[in-house]
Structure 1
Amino acid sequence: MPIPVIDFSKLNGEERAKTMAEIANGCEEWGFFQLVNHGIPVELLERVKKVTSECYKFEREEEFFKNSTPVKLLKELVDKKSEEKLENIDWEDVFLLADDNEWPPKTPGFKETMMEYRAELKKLSEKLMEIMDENLGIPKGYIKKAFNGGEGDQAFFGTKVSHYPPCSHPEMVNGLRAHTDAGGVILLFQDDEVGGLEVLKDGKWTDVQPIPNAICINTGDQIEVLSNGKYKSAWHRVQAMPNGTRRSIASFYNPSYDATIEPATHLVKKENKEFNQSSYPKFVFGDYMSVYTEQKFLAKEPRFQAVKAV
């Protein structure tokens, strides 16, 4: 069964109710869905493909194959003729973009293109949070306000630029190990030719099919908490592939480190009228990230319990 593909342009027409229901289903049943006709110009997306691919090719590829830890460790296993698998490392070249960090210096147009792209993605993420507010029956702007720790613009919006180079022994290493995302709303612009991304649904791994110029959405742990478990953060992974370099650009709207996260009061009261209990603790997001950093690839439920005790 393919993951849901939703035509976002229909949100403003006669099919609004149907589209809202499709997004709700994507959040509730999958934690993953793809948006087409999302309003981000194709011309901008083409420039993003160009500058990120050029950045990897001219600034990062040689270093990855010459000096990276996964390449060295995989070579050691192959040389030993071992049948082991590298369990605690990923076949991934990755760096993080934020507005105030250093930008790759050698790729023409990289900073200008990615800043323009990030601005578009941030607007899309805020629109999606408003849709989640409406579908959950909580006040408009609730999730955004929670992530910002109140009014203002304190939430963290980051972009992770990843490439997964071809791997000569893909059976011996993960592209990216299975995990749920720590934060809020994740917007992924994935490669439209090289696959490898999979999401766990009903105990089975399902391919997230490449669709040209689609934006893939998934919900992180903080959306699960705010929705009191109605929306689940989805387990996903990337398989190492023998051919082609997979491009993956994930942007994420996360709470401020100082933001207090807990299930929305309206949902706690609605779902537990007699006991008024929530399924998740109240915590500061920065404390959660301290736990997540150590336990990213482990079961998520103990993370919620651990942060409860902080």
Structure 2
Amino acid sequence: MTTTISAVMNNLDSYPPPFRHQNSQTHYPDQVNSLSDPDPIPVIDLDGLNQNLDEPKKLEEACREWGLFRLANHGIPLTLLSQLHDLAKEIFSISFESKQASTANSPISYFWGTAALTPKGTALARGSQSINWLEGFNIPLSQLSEFEHQVPMLDSFRVLLEEYGNHLSRIAGMLYETMAKNLDLNPESSKPYLSEETGIVRVYRYPVNSDADAALGMEVHTDSSVLSILHQNDGVSGLEVLRDNHWQTVKPLSDSLIVNLGDMMQAISDDRFKSVKHRVKVNKQRDRISICYFVFPGEDVLIQSSTYKPFSYNDFRTQVQKDVKTLGYKVGLERFKINEDSN
């Protein structure tokens, strides 16, 4: 089915104001670029981690070589994933002003034009070229019970997220346990490095852009998490990862998840595993919606490493926010490397 120009125009008030002009100039048919090229992303079978001796080895190789992999047999019902995306589309379709107002004084935050970790207004202060072409909701899963009375608009979404969060916690725990074994980490001392209480979901919309080559949905970055677990839907491509100095498109296959390692996992592994650089391109033809789960160490848990000075996630986050505010970009792990000036 083709989206009509009037439908696009009627939906313009759902976009943040700076995004509206690029969505009204040109109409494109409701189709996406061909994704028929072979998919080189390594595939890990979650069921196989406990049943197949080769699967943990494949996971270790993916963590070392890619910092990212596709997860099959994850156990999340496809109907749940479909419902989450359908509701996300509905929520994003309401007016920009309503979305801004809906999360006031609630645990949820609405953001646009910049990553959720970036201090408000930083990107805008640096000029329009620094605006990421996205909007989203940041949802701390440990506070879902507070959403019912504070954010009625998201109540149906809350119910689905409770089920989804349980699956994500299970998956992250299984993956981390295997990774810790591959790294020969002490099970007891390394367990706090993955804290279920820190789990958050970010729901993103990357608006269609008639000049997609002139904007990035999200600039090149690494995640600050231990693990990030992403679900893409609708066959709308956009996510790209850097491998061997070339950008590789990550196909949006709705029956699988994409897992990437973040900075905390790289530090925990003494750089044996990599925090993958990635970016998001915007689409000329359709909005792209993705749902990503991030999990971290307990905020004050010290990460002990032979490569980095002892630091907590709270230390790391504070430093990142300081660097983004003063320098305009994230420095990340380099700030904590042993024998390197961190000032």
TM superposition score normalised by structure 1: 0.79
Where in structure 2 are the equivalents of 1:1-310 lying within 5 Å?
A: 2-13=40-51, 16-58=52-94, 60=96, 86-98=128-140, 99-100=142-143, 102=147, 104-106=151-153, 109-140=156-187, 142-148=189-195, 155-263=197-305, 278-295=306-323, 297-305=329-337, 309=342
- CA separation in 2, counterparts of 1:295 and 1:205? 26
Q: Secondary structure at the match of 2:334?
A: helix
Extract unaligned runs of 5+ from structure 2. Answer: 1-38, 101-110, 114-126
Q: Is the Cα–Cα contact under 8 Å of residues 263 and 333 in structure 2 kept in the other structure?
A: no
Extract unaligned runs of 5+ from structure 1. Answer: 71-84, 264-277
Q: Is the Cα–Cα contact under 8 Å of residues 92 and 176 in structure 1 kept in the other structure?
A: yes
Q: Offset at 1:53?
A: 1.8
Q: Offset at 1:119?
A: 1.5
User: Which amino acid is 2:137 matched to?
Assistant: F
Distance 1:29 1:192, change over 3 A: farther
Q: Secondary structure at the match of 2:174?
A: helix
Q: Is the Cα–Cα contact under 8 Å of residues 292 and 303 in structure 1 kept in the other structure?
A: no
Q: Is the Cα–Cα contact under 8 Å of residues 320 and 330 in structure 2 kept in the other structure?
A: no
Bigger shift: residues 251-260 or 220-229: 251-260
User: Which amino acid is 2:320 matched to?
Assistant: Y
Q: Secondary structure at the match of 2:94?
A: helix
Distance 1:41 1:298, change over 3 A: same
Residue 29 (structure 2) aligns with: none
- CA separation in 1, counterparts of 2:285 and 2:319? 36
- CA separation in 2, counterparts of 1:303 and 1:51? 40
Deviations 1:183-224 (A, max 9, x none): 211111122411110011111111111112211101111111
Number of residue pairs matched? 272
Deviations 1:235-287 (A, max 9, x none): 00001111111111110111222111122xxxxxxxxxxxxxx2211112211
Distance 1:203 1:300, change over 3 A: farther
Q: Secondary structure at the match of 2:55?
A: helix
Residue 77 (structure 1) aligns with: none
User: Which amino acid is 2:70 matched to?
Assistant: Q
Q: Is the Cα–Cα contact under 8 Å of residues 94 and 161 in structure 1 kept in the other structure?
A: yes
Q: Secondary structure at the match of 1:181?
A: coil
Q: Secondary structure at the match of 1:232?
A: coil
Distance 1:242 1:143, change over 3 A: farther
- CA separation in 2, counterparts of 1:199 and 1:186? 14
Bigger shift: residues 208-217 or 101-110: 101-110
Distance 1:61 1:245, change over 3 A: farther
Q: Offset at 1:301?
A: 4.5
User: Which amino acid is 1:212 matched to?
Assistant: S
User: Which amino acid is 1:166 matched to?
Assistant: V
- CA separation in 2, counterparts of 1:286 and 1:19? 33
- CA separation in 1, counterparts of 2:190 and 2:236? 34
Q: Secondary structure at the match of 1:178?
A: strand
- CA separation in 1, counterparts of 2:261 and 2:323? 18
Q: Is the Cα–Cα contact under 8 Å of residues 92 and 162 in structure 1 kept in the other structure?
A: yes
- CA separation in 2, counterparts of 1:285 and 1:55? 31
Q: Is the Cα–Cα contact under 8 Å of residues 336 and 342 in structure 2 kept in the other structure?
A: no
TM superposition score normalised by structure 2: 0.72
- CA separation in 1, counterparts of 2:295 and 2:90? 26
Identity fraction in percent: 29
Q: Offset at 1:60?
A: 4.8
Q: Is the Cα–Cα contact under 8 Å of residues 54 and 107 in structure 1 kept in the other structure?
A: no
- CA separation in 2, counterparts of 1:43 and 1:308? 50
User: Which amino acid is 1:167 matched to?
Assistant: N
Residue 104 (structure 2) aligns with: none
